[in-house]
């Protein structure tokens, strides 16, 4: 992937929070369980998101976390930047440290437009839009006429393969 594991964790947790009613606090252990993420690591990622203003944290009894902005105002790019800082997208495709437009590596001319497109994709994708697409996915799946349907859980890496029940 073109971003780090911390960014993946941030996206999964933020998607979960985006699906919660506004103003409802979620304890970190609840988010960790629902998203199948390690609680200790999630807590560290949440700290980075809080520093960036993307989530708010509340301590004590009844405390928890919530989004710091509306899901419409949080892009995937903001989550990647908050957790990873300069991402792998910013680096040379071949790992050459001094690669730049004035000193390009052999792939620079082909990598730069792809890098820009990927960044634009993340900048143009909000949590709200992604959540809407994920909620519509089951409806699209049911209308499919394939013999095998593959569904990926939005909050885990597990995949479940289901066969159509109306096979001859």
pLDDT tens-digit readout, 76-85: 999 999 998 8
Residues in Cβ contact with 9 at an 8 Å cutoff, skipping those fewer than 6 apart: 37, 41, 42, 45, 83
- Which fold, 5-132? Arc Repressor Mutant, subunit A (1.10.10)
- Gyration radius from the chain CA atoms: 19
Whole-structure pTM value:
0.76
Top-confidence residue, 99 or 158: 99
Would you list the domain boundaries of the chain? 5-132
Q: What is the mean pLDDT of residues 92-110?
A: 84
């Amino acid at each position: 992937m073109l971003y780090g594991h911390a960014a993946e964790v941030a996206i999964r947790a933020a998607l979960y929070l985006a699906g919660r009613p506004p103003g409802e606090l979620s304890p970190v252990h609840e988010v960790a369980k629902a998203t199948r993420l390690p609680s200790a690591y999630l807590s560290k990622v949440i700290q980075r998101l809080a520093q960036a203003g993307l989530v708010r944290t509340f301590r004590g009894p009844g405390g928890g976390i919530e989004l710091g902005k509306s899901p419409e105002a949080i892009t995937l790019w903001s989550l990647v930047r908050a957790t990873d800082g300069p991402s792998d997208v910013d680096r040379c495709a071949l790992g050459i440290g001094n690669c730049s437009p004035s000193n390009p590596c052999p792939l620079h001319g082909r990598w730069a437009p792809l890098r820009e497109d990927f960044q634009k994709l993340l900048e143009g994708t909000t949590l709200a839009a992604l959540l809407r697409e994920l909620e519509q996915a089951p409806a699209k799946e049911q209308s499919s006429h394939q013999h095998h349907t593959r569904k990926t859980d939005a909050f885990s890496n597990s995949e479940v393969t289901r066969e159509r029940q109306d096979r001859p």
